[in-house]
Amino acid sequence: MSVSAIRRLILVGLLISIGAALSIASPSFLTLDNLMTLLQEASLTGIVAIGFTLVLITAGIDMSIGAVIAITSMVCVNFISYTHLPAYVFIPIALAGGCLIGWVNGFFITYFKLPEFIVTLATRGILAGLALIAAVKDDQGFVKNVFIQDEVFLSFGETVGPVYIVTIVFFVLAFATQLFLKRTRAGTNVYATGANPTASRLSGINTDRTLIGVYMFSGFCAALASIFLSARMMTAMPDFGIGSEMDVIASVVIGGTPFTGGVGDIWGTVIGTLFLALIKNGILKLGLSPYIQPIVIGGIIVVTVIADVWYKGFAEKRATRIARQKQALAKEGV
Amino acid sequence: MSANSPLLLECKGIDKNYNGPMVLANVDFSLKRGEIHSLVGENGAGKSTLIKIITGVTNRNAGSIVFEGQSVPVEHNKIASERLGIAVIYQELSLIHGMSVAQNIFLTKEPLFAGLPIIDINKMNRLAQEMIDKYGFDLRATDIIDKLPIAQRQTVEILKALSNKASLMIMDEPTSSLTSTESAQLFKIIRLLKSEGITVVYISHRMEEVFDLSDRVTVLRDGKLVTVLEKEQISPAEIIRLMIGRALSEDESRHRMVKKEGEVVLEVEHLCCEGKLKDISFKVRQGEVLGFGGLVGSGRTELMRAIYGIDGFDSGRLTYLGKNYVPSVEKSIAGGYGFVPEERRLQGIMGGISIVGNIGVANLDAISNSAGFVSGTKEREKADKAISLLKVKPANPDVLVGNLSGGNQQKVVVGKWLIRDLKLLIVDEPTVGIDIGAKEEMYQTIERLACEGVAVIVVSSDLPELTRLSDRIIVLRKGQIIKEFAEGVVTEEDVLRAASGIVEGGTQ
């Protein structure tokens, strides 16, 4: 069995055992309501994490995702407050806005050959500021909390049966992205670009186009999550999503996509997202202070990364040993 | 020239200079269909440049290229040349790690389900396996690249080129990191390619290979075409004579080993490191140049890193200047070691920093006071001293080292040790990528240091260099000492034979 398969199995095992432990510890954990809320939480992070996974596979990083969430929610609220355009007009505009931001990121990264981290950190700052400026203000200039009344928009926060729409969208998007990565040429190019950009270019892959596409997708995913978030909260705030990078990065890293590029997939990210949401939900259900959440998440990132590095070293040693034994055997055969 | 002309490629009057001396001057080069054509010449003769021009990695200054009857424009590029059917099998392989053999072969042209943008993985694996079986390679289409040995990765590169319908394959030193069995397999593949009508350009320093394989040989010297040898004219001695421009006299290929009587500076006993080094013992004396030969991957660099203290080892004992010594980089430097690493750009220099800074960083103890503040004047004095000792050009200590030529960069790397109280200098591949003049200076520096009583360890793949410099040569193979040449005359061939595992008639 491959390393990633074992890793995944361990995570699923942990997921089930932690879930079982929580069911015993807290009577309100194993209720349909709580599980659906948990899934809804996971889906919001997860949608962003899907886009982020692709960026990470190309060995890049996107720090602007949180700010994209903020600006997108502000775009929607402004449409709702000042225009009478229906939701099915401005939602596509908001999503296109997310793509545009991603395109800008990708353009600066590829055309000017700037480091991904710096570019996206800069766009993050700019967007976070723009979100505040774009926020609807009252007479004294304070940010006004606009309650969304547009029914089409609000319906994004609804459920189909017991399942939230966002959860359905998350799993559909995950499935489609996984298919894209593993079964299309463009998806293969994403891996190749991350694994070895020089070899990819020599093989005829347009790595710049691949990178720009990946950042656009990341922006799109963040904008999509923003719409579901606003619909659920029935309002939008200019600080929506700011700081959510932490959860997203944690989900992807726990899911087994490393920062080195060329490796990773969406199922890992899905499991990582569920894992993280479970931990967060568990902290609440056990009645612990929500303030310890970031501490726990930070701790989990460190432990995961250490385990990965340790296991990688172990696996490499084992591989060389096996190779040597094989060689020795081959020699005896001669 | 029509498409069915016997010539596949015809280059005429190729000139190239990289804003300086002519690297290629009026070179003609032609290839017949389905021949194995060797391109030989000493380092710096212009082989790589000619290949780069043909493949479009760099542009020519003058001359014409006709490939398959089509004229190739000056503004040529790698992707266009691949489309024409020119493939290069790189030494540093250009495969994508983490992907399977089939994925690598079909990268960017994966078979799709009819009418859908979805890759048909089964079909891709099947097609790849068919190709593999057709050529009789020992591979599976689903193997992940990372798990294959270098020789098999090379095979994947060849398959990738074949799937591109390449009619010309260029192999640059393909056997440099292969074992002799693997090389033999590669030769079989090359002959197979020839029988398929594919033209192979073969570049190698190993004359026997050139002799065995080639239908024709083009000899380059100092950027000029010397001659093209037809099959019946090819002999190793003749090629070497043409490459060097004179026959190699007996004393030039043979070197007498000299026994030095100085005090032992470093003694290594039974050094072992799991998977890398096995029971290595040797001594190096004051004023002695001890050469380490062996093929790439034989453990030479690992040994140097271990005795300098970069990597640990499992067991064994070091005695340095009569005392038991457990190496660590800090202690080694303080104790009088100098280390010139193999990869100059990666490990030797800090390109974005001036000569002063590069020299200063290895001599912080000498240029700073007890509070840890660095004295700019002292730093400069040290740099000036190193520059004048080694004649670094330009002799301006503020120049960024990255802007110097390879030879001068290497001088800076050596220079930072030279100004210390040096007792042992370890030099890994002293002259890779530096020009002939600078090479000679480097040799003189090493010889001078030895005369001054420094113990020098030289690791080199360049056999003439190794035999010329060394007073004694130890040859490693698969992490073990396989042979020591301590006295008498040693020829380059002796060293190569030992390194390849051919010892006294038998193969080991």
Domains of chain B: 1-83+207-248 (3.40.50.300), 254-336+422-507 (3.40.50.300), 350-420 (no CATH)
Q: What residues form DSSP beta bridges with B491?
A: B254
B396 touches chain A (CB under 8 A): no
Contact between residue B417 and residue B359 where contact means Cβ atoms under 8 Å apart: no
Closest Cα in chain B, distance from residue A193 (Å): 9
Of B98, B107, B108, the CB nearest to A262: B98
> Model-level pTM?
0.79
Percentage, residues of chain A above pLDDT 90: 70
- DSSP 3-state of B276: coil
Contact B413, B348 (CB under 8 A): yes
> To the nearest whole angstrom, how far is the Cα of A162 from the nearest Cα of chain B?
33
Whether residue B321 contacts residue B335, with contact meaning beta carbons closer than 8 Å, is answered with yes
Residue-level pLDDT at B92:
59
Distance from CA of B499 to the nearest CA of A (A): 19
Q: Do B119 and A183 touch (CB under 8 A)?
A: yes
Chain B positions in Cβ-Cβ contact with residue A57 (cut-off 8 Å): none
Distance (Å) from the alpha carbon of B107 to chain A's nearest alpha carbon:
7
Question: Do the Cβ atoms of B94 and A203 come closer than 8 Å?
Answer: yes
Partners of residue B108 in chain A, C-beta under 8 Å: 185, 188-189, 203-205
CA–CA min distance B95, chain A (Å): 6
**Nearest C-alpha of chain A: how many angstroms from B160?**
10
Instruction: Read off the pLDDT of each residue in A209-228 and give the average, rounded to a whole number.
Output: 97
Note whether ipTM > 0.85 here.
no
The confidence score (pLDDT) of residue A292 equals: 92
B92 touches chain A (CB under 8 A): no
Positive or negative, the CA dihedral B182, B188, B191, B197 is negative
Specify the pLDDT at position B1: 41
* B96: contact with A, CB 8 A cutoff: yes
Partner-chain contact B96 A183, CB within 8 Å:
no
**A83 pLDDT exceeds 80?**
yes
Of B94, B108, B160, the CB nearest to A185: B108
Tell me the per-residue pLDDT of A180-206, one tens digit each, with 9 for 90 and over: 999 999 999 999 999 999 888 878 889
Dihedral in degrees, nearest 10, Cα atoms A238, A242, A247, A251: 80
Which residues of chain B are modeled with pLDDT < 70? 1-5, 19-21, 43-44, 91-93, 244-254, 435-436, 502-508
Sheet with B199-203, edge to edge strand ranges = B86-89, B168-172, B199-203, B36-40, B216-221, B224-230
Residues of chain B contacting A176 with CB distance shorter than 8 Å? none
Q: What are phi and psi of B51, to 5 degrees?
A: -65, -45
Strand order across the B323-324 sheet: B277-285, B264-273, B315-320, B323-324
Q: Greater confidence, A7 or B216? A: B216
Name the minimum distance, in Å, from the CA of A206 to any CA of chain B: 10
For residues B201 and B173, is the Cβ–Cβ distance under 8 A? no
A200–B98 C-beta distance less than 8 A = no
DSSP letter at A291? G
Whole-number pLDDT of residue A330: 66
pLDDT computed for residue B249 by the predictor: 52
DSSP bridge partners of B283: B267
B121 and A CB contact within 8 Å: yes
CB atoms within 10 A of CB A24: 9
Cβ neighbors of B113 (< 8 A, separation 6 or more) are B119, B120
Nearest by CB to residue A200, choosing from B96, B98, B147, is B96
In 3D space, the residue among B311, B357, B347 whose CA is nearest the CA of residue B427 turns out to be B347
Q: Is the pLDDT of residue A147 over 80?
A: yes
CA pair distance B506, B497, nearest whole angstrom: 11
Closest residue, chain B, to A320 (C-alpha): B275
Helices (H), B248-314: 250-253, 300-308
Please report residues of B whose CB lies closer than 8 A to that of A198: 94
Residues of A with CB under 8 A from a CB of B: 179, 183-186, 188-189, 191-192, 195-196, 198-200, 202-205, 262-263, 319-321, 323-324
Closest A-chain CA to B108:
A185
Looking at CA atoms only, how far is residue B106 from chain A in angstroms?
Answer: 10
CA distance B100 to A122: 38
pLDDT digits (tens, 9 = 90+) for A246-263: 999 999 999 999 888 899
Supply the pLDDT for residue B505. 44
When pLDDT is cut at 50, 70 and 90, the band that residue A102 belongs to is very high
Query: Which of A179, A183, A203 shows the shortest C-beta gap to B108?
Result: A203
CB contact under 8 A, B107 and A320: no
A83 vs chain B: nearest CA distance in angstroms? Answer: 40
Which of A183, A186, A195 lies nearest to residue B96, judging by beta carbons? A195
pLDDT on residue B507: 41
With an 8 Å Cβ cutoff, are B94 and A185 in contact? no
At B320, list the tokens.
């340095």
Q: Tell me whether B110 touches chain A (CB under 8 Å).
A: yes
Answer yes or no: do A184 and B117 touch at CB < 8 A.
Answer: yes
Q: Mutation target for B interface from A177, A181, A185: give the one with most B CBs within 10 A.
A: A185
Give the Cα separation of B283 and A277 in Å (integer).
Answer: 62
- Chain A positions in Cβ-Cβ contact with residue B98 (cut-off 8 Å): 191, 195, 262-263
Domain ranges of chain A: 3-293
**With contacts defined as CB-CB under 8 Å, which chain A residues touch B117?**
184-186
CA dist A268 and A290 (Å) reads 26
Cα separation of B371 and B369, whole Å? Answer: 5
In 3D space, the residue among B170, B176, B208, B188 whose CA is nearest the CA of residue B85 turns out to be B170
CB of A196 within 8 A of CB of B97?
yes
Q: Alpha-carbon distance B218 to B225, whole Å?
A: 8
B99–A195 CB contact, under 8 Å: yes
Residues of chain B contacting A196 with CB distance shorter than 8 Å: 94-97
Contact B94 A202 (CB under 8 A): yes
Q: Residue A203: which of B107, B112, B149 has the nearest Cβ?
A: B107
Most B CBs within 10 A among A189, A196, A209, hence the mutation to make, goes to A196
Which residues in chain A have their CB less than 8 angstroms from residue B161's CB? none
Which residues in A lie closer than 8 A to residue B148 (C-beta atoms)? none
In this complex, which of B82, B93, B96 lies closest to A192 when CB atoms are compared?
Answer: B96
Cβ–Cβ below 8 Å for A321 and B147:
no
CATH of domain A3-293: 1.10.3470
Q: Is the CB of B110 less than 8 angstroms away from the CB of A188?
A: yes
In the prediction, which pLDDT does A271 show?
96
